[in-house]
Amino acid sequence: MLLKGTLLKGYSGFYYVYSEDRVWECSLRGRFRVKKQDFIPGDKVMILSDRGIKATIEEVLARENSLIRPNIANVDQALLVLAMSTPDTDFNLLDRLLVQVAHAGIEPVIVFTKYDLARESDLSPYEYYRTIGCRVFYVSNILAQGMEEVREIVRGRVSVLAGPSGAGKSSLLNSLEPSLKLKTGSVSDKLGRGKHTTRHVELLEAAKGLIADTPGFSSLYLPPMRKEQLQEYFPEFGPYRKECRFKDCLHVKEPGCALREAVQGGEMTGLRYEHYRQFLEEVKAAENKY
């Protein structure tokens, strides 16, 4: 019997594939082993089973999309999970994640965790992301607040959680699906950093969908792209870009740059623009390597 399934995880030489509402423990055909073909969670595979729960992977289908960090394929959406406090919200990482996800053609959803610890009475840096077209949710995993909204968006879809260590990705999954009992780790007081508790990418059945728990990270390279392309991932630049004197304006030093004027005049947030400038330098440096 040949079945189509989704690879949940690879572990100790076995591959766990979700198909027909159950999990199959699969080994590889010799030709895959020889080629050392790379499988990543989310890969669509054809499996051959006789009876029981064991099967072999016969074929891997082409990927519709993929991310390198976290390493996953064929997701419907990426939940970018960042704490509002402990650790402090890393907006630079959030903007990087938004570029990476958009570049991969994957829809972002922002989930701010630890709402119960949020000190800020001013939510505007968080709410800002709504104004640029993102969906934004606030949750407390400890108080189980905001779960209904998250349930709604993950139902029937394949989602990946991405964000720093200690942000509460595994905790979020536990809140959605308590039977998972995933390991969570404390955040060190001194450094405000997580402890890298989750070590592998794994798709899990949760809240009537498939959701990948992933290891947290604090640094992220931008995907390779042309320097002109970066601004496409900052949707709020759109209206100003049209007004720049030069068509190929990169909004750094060019005279008559409407975008820079808007930032200087306080019309547009400076933080995202700063991140754009920083990312642009990184994109240029990477471009020059080839």
Ligand X SMILES: Nc1nc2c(ncn2[C@@H]2O[C@H](COP(=O)(O)OP(=O)(O)OP(=O)(O)O)[C@@H](O)[C@H]2O)c(=O)[nH]1
The residues that touch Zn ion, with contacts defined as CB under 5 A, are 244, 249, 251, 257, 259
147 binds ligand X (CB under 6 A): no
How many angstroms separate the CA atoms of 98 and 91, rounded? 10
Q: Using CB under 6 A as the criterion, what x/- string covers residues 189-228 for binding ligand X?
A: -----xxxxx----------------xx------------
108 binds ligand X (CB under 6 A): no
Give the pair of three-digit tokens for residue 122: 């001013």
**Closest distance between Mg ion and the C-beta of residue 111, in Å?**
14
Query: CA dihedral in degrees (181, 66, 225, 258; nearest 10)?
Result: -60
171 binds Mg ion (CB under 5 A): no
Query: Per the annotation, does 166 bind a ligand?
Result: yes
Among 37, 186, 229, 264, binds ligand X (CB under 6 A): 186
Of 103 and 196, which has the nearer Cβ to Mg ion? 196
Considering only CA atoms, which of 1, 20, 32 is closest in space to residue 10?
A: 32
How many angstroms separate the CA atoms of 94 and 87, rounded? 13
Among 74, 113, 141, 170, binds Mg ion (CB under 5 A): 170
- Give the side-chain half-sphere CA count within 13 A for 188: 8
CB 47 within 8 A of CB 128: no
Among 5, 10, 87, 168, binds ligand X (CB under 6 A): 168
Residue written as token pair 């959680």 = 161
**Closest distance between Mg ion and the C-beta of residue 85, in Å?**
18
Of 140 and 231, which has the nearer Cβ to ligand X? 140
Considering only CA atoms, which of 49, 67, 41, 39 is closest in space to residue 4?
A: 49
Bridge partners of residue 111, in order along the sequence: 81, 137
How many angstroms separate the CA atoms of 226 and 77, rounded? 25
Residue written as token pair 């394929």 = 73
**Closest distance between Zn ion and the C-beta of residue 72, in Å?**
35
Query: CA dihedral in degrees (87, 74, 177, 218; nearest 10)?
Result: -10
**Closest distance between ligand X and the C-beta of residue 223, in Å?**
21
Binding site for ligand X (CB under 6 A): 113-114, 116-117, 140-142, 165-171, 184-187, 194-198, 215-216
Binding site for Mg ion (CB under 5 A): 169-170, 197-198
Binding site residue list for GTP = 113-116, 163-171
Binding site residue list = 113-116, 163-171, 244, 249, 251, 257
